[in-house]
Structure 1
Amino acid sequence: MYTGKGIIVKKTTLSKTLIAFAALGAFSVAAHAQSSVTLYGSLDAGLAYVNNIGGHSTWLQSSSLLSNTYFGLKGEEDLGGGLKAIFKLESGFDLSNGGFSDDGMFNRQAYVGIASRDFGTLTLGRQYDSVVDYLSPLALAGQAGDVNVAAHPLNNDNIGAQYSIKNAVKYESVNYSGFHFGGLYGFSNQPGQFANGRAWSVGAGYSMGPLKLAAAYDQTNSDTNSVNNSAAATVPFGGNVKRTFGVGGNYTFGPATAGVLWTRTRIQGATVAGFDGMDARFDNIEVNGTYSLTPSLALVGEYTYTYGKTTGGGTDGSSPKWHSATLAVDYSLSKRTDVYVAGAYQHASGDIYNNGSYSVANTANIAGLLGNSSTQSQVAATIGMRHRF
Structure 2
Amino acid sequence: MAFRRKMPATALSHLSFGIAMTAATTVTHAQGSVIIGGLLDESVAVYRDNGGHSNVRMQDSAIYPSKFYLRGTEDLGGGLQASFSLDSMISLSTGALDPQSRGALFENSAWVGMRKVGIGGFRLGQQNDFAFDYFLIGAIDPATGIAGGMLNFRTGSFGADLLGLKGPAQIGAGLAAGAPYPPYTNAAGAPVGMSAINWDRVGGKRMSNALKLTTDEIGSFSAGLMYSFGEVAGDFQNGSGKSAAIGYHHGETRAAVVYTEQNYGAVNGGQSGIANFLAGARTKVSRFDFSGMYSQARNTFTGARIYALAGGIGYELTPDLVLGGAYTYENGNEQLKNVIIHQGALQLTYTFSKRTAVYLAGVYQHTNGAYAAEIGNILASGKIQSVAAVGMMHRF
TM-score clears 0.5: yes
Q: Is the 8 A contact 1:364 1:375 kept in 2?
A: yes
Q: Is the 8 A contact 1:145 1:300 kept in 2?
A: yes
Q: Which structure has the bigger radius of gyration?
A: 1
Partner of 1:308: 332
Amino acid at match of 1:377: I
Partner of 1:185: 227
Partner of 2:151: 149
Partner of 2:394: 387
1:158 maps onto 2:182 in alignment? no
Q: Deviation digits for residues 188-223 of structure 1, max 9, x if unmatched?
A: 122222101111010011111232211010101111
Secondary structure in 2 matching 1:135: helix
* Residue 325 of structure 1: how far off its partner (Å): 1.0
Alpha-carbon distance change, 34 to 289 in structure 1, aligned in 2, over 3 angstroms: farther
Separation in 1, partners of 2:146, 2:215: 22
Q: Is the 8 A contact 1:259 1:288 kept in 2?
A: yes
Amino acid at match of 1:386: M
Farther-moved stretch of structure 1 (152-161 vs 215-224): 152-161
Secondary structure in 2 matching 1:205: strand
Amino acid at match of 1:247: A
1:342 maps onto 2:374 in alignment? no
Secondary structure in 1 matching 2:333: strand
Partner of 1:14: none
Q: What is the number of residues matched between the two proteins? A: 323
* Residue 279 of structure 1: how far off its partner (Å): 3.2
Runs (5+) with no aligned partner, structure 1: 1-30, 233-238, 270-277, 312-316, 352-361
* Residue 290 of structure 1: how far off its partner (Å): 2.0
Q: Is the 8 A contact 1:53 1:370 kept in 2?
A: no
Alpha-carbon distance change, 70 to 83 in structure 1, aligned in 2, over 3 angstroms: same
1:81 maps onto 2:81 in alignment? no
Q: Deviation digits for residues 296-315 of structure 1, max 9, x if unmatched?
A: 1111221000011134xxxx
Alpha-carbon distance change, 171 to 146 in structure 1, aligned in 2, over 3 angstroms: farther
1:326 maps onto 2:345 in alignment? yes
Secondary structure in 2 matching 1:113: strand
Amino acid at match of 1:150: N
Q: Is the 8 A contact 1:139 1:145 kept in 2?
A: no
From 199, 203, 210, the equivalent of 2:252 is 210
Separation in 2, partners of 1:119, 1:331: 38
Q: Deviation digits for residues 37-77 of structure 1, max 9, x if unmatched?
A: 11111111111100139984111022111221111011100
* Residue 289 of structure 1: how far off its partner (Å): 2.1
Q: Is the 8 A contact 2:146 2:325 kept in 1?
A: no
Separation in 2, partners of 1:118, 1:250: 24
Partner of 1:241: 273
Runs (5+) with no aligned partner, structure 2: 1-27, 156-195
Secondary structure in 1 matching 2:131: helix
Q: Is the 8 A contact 2:148 2:361 kept in 1?
A: no
Partner of 2:373: 364
Partner of 1:131: 131
Amino acid at match of 1:139: D
1:44 maps onto 2:41 in alignment? yes
Alpha-carbon distance change, 217 to 125 in structure 1, aligned in 2, over 3 angstroms: same
Separation in 2, partners of 1:141, 1:168: 27
Partner of 2:110: 110
Secondary structure in 2 matching 1:138: coil
Q: Deviation digits for residues 155-199 of structure 1, max 9, x if unmatched?
A: 2211222x2111111011021110000011111122222101111
Separation in 1, partners of 2:91, 2:244: 31
Amino acid at match of 1:364: A
Separation in 1, partners of 2:296, 2:231: 28
1:294 maps onto 2:337 in alignment? no
Partner of 1:64: 61
Separation in 1, partners of 2:339, 2:80: 50
Alpha-carbon distance change, 96 to 143 in structure 1, aligned in 2, over 3 angstroms: same
Matched-pair identity in % = 33
Q: Is the 8 A contact 2:349 2:360 kept in 1?
A: yes
* Residue 268 of structure 1: how far off its partner (Å): 3.6
Q: Deviation digits for residues 350-379 of structure 1, max 9, x if unmatched?
A: 53xxxxxxxxxx11112xx23211100001
Alpha-carbon distance change, 322 to 78 in structure 1, aligned in 2, over 3 angstroms: same
Q: Deviation digits for residues 138-160 of structure 1, max 9, x if unmatched?
A: 11334566811111012221122
Amino acid at match of 1:73: L
* Residue 118 of structure 1: how far off its partner (Å): 4.0
Partner of 2:122: 122
Secondary structure in 2 matching 1:158: coil
Q: CA RMSD in A?
A: 2.3
- The TM-score with structure 1 as length reference comes to 0.78
Q: Deviation digits for residues 216-236 of structure 1, max 9, x if unmatched?
A: 10101111599xx9xx9xxxx
* Residue 91 of structure 1: how far off its partner (Å): 0.4
- The TM-score with structure 2 as length reference comes to 0.77
Secondary structure in 2 matching 1:141: helix
* Residue 342 of structure 1: how far off its partner (Å): 0.6
Alpha-carbon distance change, 260 to 143 in structure 1, aligned in 2, over 3 angstroms: closer
